[in-house]
């Protein structure tokens, strides 16, 4: 994956938010992918490995080859889903999760390995790794967000741009995440984002298709 990669709108699932209007995670995912979302990160910090595996498999089976599906944090779940034959691209890891080098070794060269980064030091650490270890950086939080209670200090657009510039120099594209609204999409693209990760803006919407389509349109229109 090159630094010029256009990821676009990147949906991060949230069960309680998706249930707010009775849509559910699968309903939100299907609607978002129908609206043009091309990457779905399955995230449930509280689920057991078995339940997260079942959800990941259901998400992957529901979107087929229309979107890239990755699992948040849980390398074991991503490996199990792939072993069972589900179309799961890989994993997105946090700074305290298993090392990205281990994920790459276990998943193989063609899988997706994403990594959360929110400081220049995190980018420097990626630069020191063999090229191709990390495919994508999730950079944030851009704004304070209730979906991640323990988030680091918010970067804002300017802080995101600084990290995106550093990442571009080492050939790794960045997706902005954290409290992102529809109004943030175009400025973040201008700031160097390869995509924008959206949680509540789509998951909590009464009409997730319309919400996702609005974000996709905002990303596409320059």
Per-domain boundaries in the chain? 8-220
Q: What is the reported pLDDT for 137? A: 98
| 151 pLDDT tier (thresholds 50, 70, 90) | low
Helices marked H in the chain:
15-18, 24-34, 49-63, 75-83, 100-107, 120-127, 156-169, 185-190, 200-203, 208-220
62 is in an annotated binding site: no
13 is in an annotated binding site: no
Q: What is the reported pLDDT for 150? A: 67
pLDDT of residue 145 exceeding 90: no
pLDDT of residue 4 exceeding 80: no
85 is in an annotated binding site: no
Q: What is the reported pLDDT for 2? A: 57
217 is in an annotated binding site: no
28 is in an annotated binding site: no
Q: What is the reported pLDDT for 153? A: 86
Q: For the residues 55-79, what does the mean pLDDT come to? A: 98
Q: Could you tell me the sign of the dihedral formed by the alpha carbons of 109, 38, 201, 120, in that order? A: positive
Q: For the residues 189-209, what does the mean pLDDT come to? A: 98
Q: What is the reported pLDDT for 1? A: 62
Q: What is the reported pLDDT for 65? A: 97
Report percent pLDDT > 70 for the chain: 95
State how far the Cα of 40 lies from the Cα of 148, in Å rounded to an integer. 17
pLDDT of residue 3 exceeding 70: no
pLDDT of residue 87 exceeding 70: yes
| 48 pLDDT tier (thresholds 50, 70, 90) | very high
What residue has token string 């699932």?
Answer: 13
Angle between helices 24-34 and 49-63 (to 10 degrees): 30
Bridge partners (DSSP) listed for residue 92: 72, 114
Of 1-10, 89-98, 129-138, 212-221, give the lowest mean pLDDT range: 1-10
Cα–Cα separations (whole angstroms), residue 108 to 59, 112, 174, 194, 221: 22, 9, 21, 23, 35
Q: What is the mean pLDDT of the chain?
A: 95
145 is in an annotated binding site: yes
36 is in an annotated binding site: no
146 is in an annotated binding site: yes
State how far the Cα of 57 lies from the Cα of 72, in Å rounded to an integer. 14
65 is in an annotated binding site: no
105 is in an annotated binding site: no
66 by Cβ neighbours in 10 Å (0-12 / 13-18 / 19+) ranks as: middle
Most distant CA pair in the chain, distance? 45
42 is in an annotated binding site: yes
Cβ pair 170, 126 in contact under 8 A = yes
pLDDT of residue 154 exceeding 80: yes
40 is in an annotated binding site: no
Q: Which residues, 6+ apart, have CB-to-CB distance to 132 below 8 Å?
A: 104, 109
pLDDT of residue 109 exceeding 60: yes
200 is in an annotated binding site: yes
b or e along 173-187 (b: 16 or more beta carbons within 10 Å of the residue's beta carbon)?
bbbbbbbbeeebbee
pTM for the model: 0.95
State how far the Cα of 3 lies from the Cα of 123, in Å rounded to an integer. 13
State how far the Cα of 182 lies from the Cα of 216, in Å rounded to an integer. 9
**The domain defined by 8-220 carries CATH number 3.20.20.70:** yes
134 is in an annotated binding site: no
- How far does CA 2 lie from the centroid of its chain? 16
Q: Which residues, 6+ apart, have CB-to-CB distance to 37 below 8 Å?
A: 8, 9, 10, 11, 67, 202, 212, 215, 216
Q: What is the reported pLDDT for 146? A: 74
């Amino acid at each position: 994956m090159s630094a010029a990669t256009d990821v676009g709108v990147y949906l991060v699932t949230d069960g309680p938010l998706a249930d707010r209007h009775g849509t559910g995670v699968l309903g939100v995912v299907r609607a978002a992918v129908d609206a043009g979302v091309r990457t779905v990160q399955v995230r449930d910090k509280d689920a057991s490995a078995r339940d997260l595996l079942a959800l990941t498999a259901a998400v992957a089976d529901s979107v087929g080859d229309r979107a890239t599906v990755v699992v948040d944090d849980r390398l074991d779940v991503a490996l199990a889903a792939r072993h069972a034959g589900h179309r799961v691209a890989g994993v997105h890891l946090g700074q305290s999760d298993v090392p990205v080098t281990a994920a790459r070794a276990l998943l193989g060269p063609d899988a997706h390995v994403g990594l959360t980064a929110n400081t220049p030091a995190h980018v420097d650490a990626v630069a020191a790794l063999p090229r191709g270890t990390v495919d994508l950086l999730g950079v944030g939080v851009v704004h304070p967000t209730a979906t991640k209670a323990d988030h680091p200090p918010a970067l804002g657009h300017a802080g995101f741009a600084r990290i995106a510039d550093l990442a571009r120099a080492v050939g790794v594209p960045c997706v902005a995440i954290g409290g992102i609204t529809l109004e943030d999409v175009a400025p973040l693209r201008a700031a160097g984002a390869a995509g924008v990760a959206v949680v509540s803006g789509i998951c909590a919407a009464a009409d997730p298709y319309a919400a996702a389509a609005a974000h996709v349109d905002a990303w596409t229109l320059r």
